[in-house]
Amino acid sequence: MEPPDEEYPFTLTTGRRYESYNTHTQTRHYAAGVKIKQTEETVDIHPEDAKSLGIVDGEVVQVRSRRGDLQVKAKITEQVVPGLVFMSFHWSETPTNVLTLNEYDPISGTAEYKACAVAIERLS
């Protein structure tokens, strides 16, 4: 894992959202009866962190790592702790993995997509 620092003060962790499957190949367009609760990607950020950055719920922000950046709406939630932000990899329109590490486990070959240091900035 890449620890946060002054330039990249947040830890981004990635994972799945409840009703989605990978990049929506089986749930976004073809699965009748699946109710998608979240219709676009967000960066989930704790209220204390959002307040310190002047970010409001639904505002489009820039999330930046040492490898890339993207723009995404902020979702203010207590489902993450201060200093930690969350995004999934389900939305091709928001390619979260451009932010993550380019490292692989030497034995399994599994990519390290789960955590990295990021900065979050308001666009306006």
Measure the CA dihedral 37/38/44/46, to 10°: -40
pLDDT band at 24 (very low <50, low <70, confident <90, very high): very low
Question: Quick check: is 45 in a domain?
Answer: yes
Four-residue CA torsion sign, 109, 114, 115, 118: positive
- Alpha carbons within 13 A on the beta-carbon side of 75: 16
Total Cβ atoms within 10 A of residue 58:
10
Q: Mean pLDDT across the stretch 13-36?
A: 58
Q: Does some domain include residue 108?
A: yes
Pick the residue with more confidence: 29 or 8? 8
* Digit-coded pLDDT (tens) for 56-93: 999 999 999 999 999 999 999 999 999 999 998 777 78
Residue type, 21: Y
Q: Is the dihedral of CA 89, 66, 121, 7 positive or negative?
A: positive
Classify residue 72: in a domain, yes or no. Answer: yes
In whole angstroms, give the CA distance from residue 114 to residue 104.
11
CA-wise closest residue to 100 among 90, 88, 115, 86: 115
Question: Can you give the pLDDT at residue 77?
Answer: 97
Which of 14-23, 44-53, 105-114: highest mean pLDDT? 44-53
Asked if residue 115 is part of any domain, the answer here is yes
Domain CATH code at residue 51: 2.40.40.20
Whether 71 is covered by a domain: the verdict is yes
Q: What is the residue range of 66's domain?
A: 10-122
Q: Give the confidence band of 15 by pLDDT, cuts at 50, 70, 90.
A: confident
| Domains held by the chain: number | 1
Query: Does residue 91 form part of some domain?
Result: yes
